[in-house]
Chain A
Amino acid sequence: MSSTRFDAEARQGLAMVSPPLIYAVLMLAAPLITILAYSFFKDGYLEVVREFTLENYRAVWSDPIFHKVMARSLGVAFAVTLATVALAFPVAYFLSFVVPPERKALWIFLITIPFWTSYLIRVFLWKVILGHNGVINSTLTGLGFIDEPLGFLLYNVQAMVITLAHAYAPFAILPIYVALEKIDRSLLEAGRDLGESRLMTFWRVTLPLAMPGVVAATLIVFIPTIGDYVTPELIGGGKMPMVANMVQANMLALDNKPMGSALAVTAMLIVAVVSVIFLFLNRRFLRVKQ
């Protein structure tokens, strides 16, 4: 009896989920599988030749430009992630432990608003701030501090890191905040009662329990950052491509779809491997059940 009930429920559930599922299969799974298949095909003139080859991957892995671009992407993404998570942690801590409960929703709303407002415009604004005739340069020359506009502000890796760290800042706060909210407050009192100082309680109780949130924040910032297209284009001036720009150039400008696909698949693999290693290093914290 109970098994037929379960079957009925399973059928109903599957029927209910099928419209979004079919949509995701057609618009997401199928395209991703196509990219994977293309990466093993040959590039012919104006078309893709459906013949199995590992040549694309061989070319990608031995391409010094790809090494450089991938290293730059990883470097930028690491720096951005580190900056974002480190800067976000105290804010998340403040939200969870200091802000009174009735004000929390307002604070979170204030923090998430910039994240939802035009990403492109926020990136472009950094170009306005750091540019040759930008806000910083024109202010400094106007005040007479410098004679010539500073040239080192824009079109370099540091500018890209600042821009991306600003763009993804709110992203890091929420997962850390959620993890901190889950901490049983009596554990902290217990730590204090057992004679630990405030700092030691934080170090030995709060921080380990917050680590799942920190890990989630790290990945949630790292993954989209490494695939960013707009910032290298605008802030890097097109001369500092990251992996997304390289994929796009191969897919469209050079019209070598198998090569572009192999690049995209390789980049996704590298991101996946880095994420898995990161999760593995933090497995101690993730096992903790609260």
Chain B
Amino acid sequence: MKGSGLRIYAIAYLIFLYAPILLLPIFAFNSGTIIAFPLKGFTADWFMQMLANETLRRAFLNSLIIALSSAIFATCLGIFAARASTRFDFPAKTGIMGLIMLPLVLPEIIVAMSLLVVLLAIGVQLSIFTVILGHTLICLPYTIAILSTAFNSLDKSLEEAAYDLGETKWSAFRLVILPLVMPGIISALLMSFTISLDEFIIAFFLAGNEPTLPTYIFSQLRFPKSIPVIMALGTVLVVMSILLLTVAEYFRRRGVARTGGQDHGGFL
């Protein structure tokens, strides 16, 4: 059969990608206190300890607030940018869009450090609010990538028909365009939520003393005793991410189908 060697290679590659992640649930449910084979026995204790942990609950709450706020801000800003870049021609378009998309290729440490220096210089207290500022910035390019596809596959004549039928600019946007790009918006929201939830560097430098889930995990990695709980927490985080991404992918595809575009697959 054509490409059977390649198929075996691709499957091996997938296994290589997923193998480390599969260790998470294995050790999260293992009753041994050290992370080593052979496994001891089955336990849900680590999950119980995780739920009982005060700091962890606080970190979880912080992460939820940050991820929700960043997702909403980034998606709102992304709607403006995607609409502008797909519908209008304006001076310095390449430069402007380039600046907005820049965090995609800039190492996060540069974004975090430069933002930190400025925030400290103007005397802003570090808190979860400053993390939201940073996360909105790095989520923005991803929302634009998703939303541009949604706006791009939009048929311009639908909008013009709405104008001809006496709708104003705003009501045409609300009644015609918005419903058509809604799956894209939901997909962008879920995507940025996931990125923010998992993001470590910016949260590490901009959160001050407030823990988020990734910075809490990082602070616990030094203590071998807390590793099993971290494995349990990691399992929960990965399951959450996969669920969110699956829903995001579902909406992205529905969006493509609704606007009659062709599906090229993938987020990028």
Contacts and interface: CB of A to CB of B under 8 A. Distances in A.
Contacts of B14: 110-111
Contacts of A226: 107
Contacts of B17: 111, 114, 166, 169-170
Contacts of A10: 88-91
Given A20-B140, A23-B140, A28-B99, A94 B6 contact: yes
Could you tell me the dominant secondary structure of chain A's interface residues?
helix
B3 A98 contact: yes
Given A16-B88, A91-B9, A128 B23 contact: yes
Contacts of B77: 19-20, 23
Nearest to B3: A98
Contacts of A34: 114, 117-118, 121
A120 B242 contact: no
B200 interface: yes
A129 B137 CA distance: 34
B36 A135 contact: yes
Instruction: Bin chain B's interface residue count.
Output: 35 or more
Contacts of B52: none
Contact of B217 (A19, A21, A120): A120
B100 A21 contact: yes
Contacts of B21: 114, 117, 122, 125
B113 interface: yes
Nearest to A136: B37
B267 A112 contact: yes
B6 to A, nearest CB: 4
Nearest to A260: B113
Contacts of B205: 248, 252
B24 interface: yes
Given A10-B88, A35-B113, 20 more contacts: A13-B84, A13-B88, A17-B80, A21-B81, A23-B136, A97-B3, A112-B268, A116-B241, A118-B237, A120-B217, A120-B218, A121-B24, A121-B237, A124-B234, A128-B27, A137-B36, A224-B108, A227-B107, A248-B113, A264-B110
